[in-house]
C-alpha cells in the first residue's frame, strides 16, 4: 500500500499550474491584433490585464516562498508586459521557479513560516497555506481568461484534465517539452 506524501499534491499542482499557463498563453499568442487588449467583461477588463495580474502576483508569492523580500515591488508596474511573447517567457520562468520549489519541499518545509513583505508589515503564514492560496489564485484568474477567450477568434484550451493518472492521454507531448515524464507526475 502506498504511503501518504503531503508533498506530492503540491508538486502535482505546480506541474498543473505550469502546463495550464503554457496552454493558455499559447492560445493567447494566436489572438488576432487587438483581441489581447480589447475590453471584456471580467474581474480585470481585458485578457492582457488579467494575465499581467497573474504574473505580478506570482512574482510576489514565489519570491516570498523562496525567502525573498521583493514584496510590493512586484506590483510597481501594474502591467509589465504589452505583448504575449514576453509575458509568456516570464510566466514560464516563474512557473519553473515554483515547480522547483515544490519539488524541493519536505513535510517540515510545508509547515515552515513564510514571510510576505506587505509594505508596512510582514505577513507570516504557513508555507502550505501560501501555496494553496497561490494555486487557488491562479486557477481563479486563468478561468477568467479562459472565459474571455470564448469571445475571441481563439478557442479556449483544455486546462482541467491533468491531475489523475487517466488524464495522461490529454497531456501529450507537452510533458516532454517541459522536461517532465509520466513517471515524474505519478511518483
Over residues 145-150, mean pLDDT: 95
What does the pLDDT look like over 44-61, one tens digit per residue? 999 999 999 999 999 999
**Beta bridge pairs of residue 112:** none
All 3 cell numbers of residue 166? 487517466
**Beta bridge pairs of residue 122:** 117
Over residues 153-166, mean pLDDT: 82
- Angle (CA) 41-42-48 rounded to 5° is 95
Stated as kind and residue range, the H or E segment containing 57 is helix 47-65
Give pTM, 2 decimals. 0.92
The pLDDT mean for the chain works out to 92
- Model confidence at 67: pLDDT above 80: yes
Selection from 85, 37, 80 nearest residue 57 by Cα:
80
CB 10 within 8 A of CB 105: yes
pLDDT, residue 59, reads 98
pLDDT confidence tier of residue 186, bands split at 50, 70 and 90: low
pLDDT, residue 170, reads 74
- Model confidence at 76: pLDDT above 80: yes
Q: What is the distance between the alpha carbons of residues 60 and 63, in angstroms, rounded to a whole number?
A: 6
Q: Say which residue, 172 or 22, is predicted with more confidence.
A: 22
Amino acid at each position: 500500500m502506498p504511503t501518504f506524501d503531503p508533498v506530492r499534491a503540491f508538486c502535482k499542482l505546480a506541474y498543473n499550474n505550469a502546463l495550464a499557463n503554457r496552454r493558455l498563453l499559447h492560445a493567447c499568442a494566436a489572438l488576432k491584433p487587438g483581441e489581447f487588449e480589447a475590453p471584456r467583461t471580467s474581474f480585470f477588463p481585458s485578457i492582457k490585464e488579467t494575465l499581467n495580474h497573474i504574473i505580478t502576483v506570482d512574482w510576489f508569492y514565489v519570491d516570498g516562498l523562496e525567502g525573498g523580500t521583493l514584496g510590493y515591488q512586484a506590483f510597481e508596474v501594474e502591467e509589465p508586459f504589452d505583448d504575449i511573447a514576453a509575458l509568456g517567457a516570464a510566466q514560464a520562468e516563474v512557473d519553473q521557479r515554483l515547480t522547483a520549489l515544490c519539488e524541493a519541499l519536505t513535510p517540515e518545509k510545508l509547515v515552515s513560516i513564510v514571510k510576505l513583505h506587505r509594505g508596512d508589515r510582514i505577513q507570516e503564514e504557513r508555507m502550505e497555506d501560501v501555496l494553496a492560496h497561490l494555486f487557488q489564485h491562479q486557477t481563479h484568474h486563468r478561468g477568467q481568461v479562459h472565459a474571455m477567450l470564448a469571445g475571441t477568434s481563439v478557442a479556449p484550451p483544455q486546462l482541467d484534465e491533468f491531475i489523475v493518472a487517466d488524464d495522461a492521454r490529454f497531456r501529450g507531448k507537452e510533458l516532454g517539452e517541459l522536461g517532465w515524464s509520466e513517471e515524474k507526475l505519478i511518483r
